[in-house]
Amino acid sequence: MSAFIVSEENLYRVIKSITKIEGYTKEFKEIKEQAISQPKKLFNRLNTLNRFSISQRYEDEKFTNKNTYPFVLSKYNETSLNYNKYQNLKSLRCFLYQSCEGNAENTPLYKLLDKICSDMAFSIVTQTKEYQESKWD
């Protein structure tokens, strides 16, 4: 398996996805609030987690905090305008896949994002006509 640093747009879509979650735990509420009121801070956390994972995979310090993407509000807003729940779910899945190396998948942020991803997928599936018309027996 190869791993890579996800794109800036991926990080923006992950943040936008988090603004849409409906969760009742303290952790869900906190990350949603951060996504809404401090997207730059969350962007940096996501960027750091992804780069930490890559450094775990390739044992190379150059991936950790050097050459990180800057948060650009106009790019974030542009990405937000193109909200697509399917693309955002896929972006979150991609982010998780590219951020699971070594100790990265054991971090609280990774575990929370994994739970959010599962909840998002369940929400999308249960809204489909096929699911709603399926038997409950």
Interatomic CA distance for residues 63 and 105, integer angstroms: 17
In a domain, 3, yes or no: no
Q: What range does the domain containing 29 cover? A: 8-128
CB–CB of 51/65 below 8 Å?
yes
Q: For the chain, what is the domain count? A: 1
Model-wide pTM > 0.75: yes
**Residue at 38 is within a domain:** yes
- Gap between the Cα atoms of 99 and 125, Å rounded: 25
Q: Which two tokens stand for residue 130?
A: 């096929």
Query: 67, exposed or middle or buried, with CB in 10 Å at 0-12, 13-18, 19+?
Result: exposed
Q: Is residue 135 part of a domain?
A: no
Residue 60 confidence (pLDDT)? 64
Task: Classify residue 112: in a domain, yes or no.
Answer: yes
In a domain, 137, yes or no: no
72 in a structural domain: yes
In a domain, 87, yes or no: yes
pLDDT beneath 50: ranges in the chain: none
- Asked if the structure places residue 114 within a domain, the reply is yes
With CA atoms as reference, report the closest residue to 14 among 102, 113, 111.
Answer: 113
Amino acid at 95: F
